[in-house]
Amino acid sequence: MRAERGGYDSCFCWVVHGKHQLGVCNGAGTELPSKTLVLGLAGLILFASTIGATEVKIHCLDVHFHGLLLALGHFHGTLLFLWCRPLKPANCKLSAAQEKDINASFFGQLTGGKAATLTGSGPGEEFGILEIVENSGCAFINNYKVKGSQLIEIPKGEESVVFQEGVAKKSGSHLFLGVEPLSASGSGNAMLASGETWLDMFGV
């Protein structure tokens, strides 16, 4: 395995078996080492799905991101969703514990200079379990697996900046609530714990 110039003057990409791979550099053009800590914060996130023919909408007021970079554009981490509430159906609620926070674990992979995919790291690509509990008039009391993959657009991924914005995209994502399709909308910012500028690289 050897390093060669990639698609950008300031970065290098790794070439494995003749194919250019993805990676992450700091603003000085140095590939970031494995286990580099990335921290992120997002505002309002909205999830939409159905249970049977009934519309389901859940919003979370805050999301914290904690990730570690691995080699060749791979990473893993956790998402902590805070202050989540069902908007629809109106009579349903989350468990008391999940009203405070919901943990979701994932594996990540850069899929281009301006995109990444998050996939649930549990069995069957599971991110976690959503617990809808007894409440007056709620007909959907159950635990629902949240699984699949979520595409994240990184608009400035090819630019050297301190804060990289990530935008959840419906197109290209394959999320599920139980067996029903699930979509996520919202955006947030991530930064290196060191405070360095950083960018994605994609060799051509």
Strands (E) in the chain, as ranges, are: 2-5, 12-16, 19-20, 22-26, 37-42, 45-51, 54-69, 74-88, 93-94, 101-112, 115-120, 126-133, 142-153, 164-177, 180-185, 187-192, 198-202
Of the listed ranges 5-14, 98-107, 186-195, the one predicted with least confidence: 5-14
* Of 109, 115, 113, 117, the residue nearest 203 (C-alpha): 113
Range 111-122 average pLDDT: 92
34-193 is a CATH 2.40.160 domain: yes
- Tell me what pLDDT residue 15 has: 41
Q: Which position has the higher pLDDT, 203 or 124?
A: 124
Residue 119 has pLDDT above 80, yes or no: yes
Task: Please report, rounded to a whole number, the percentage of residues in the chain having pLDDT higher than 70.
Answer: 87
List pLDDT tens digits, range 21-78. Answer: 567 888 777 778 888 999 999 999 999 999 988 999 999 999 999 999 988 789 999 9
The torsion angle over the Cα atoms of residues 85, 89, 91 and 93, rounded to 10 degrees, is -30
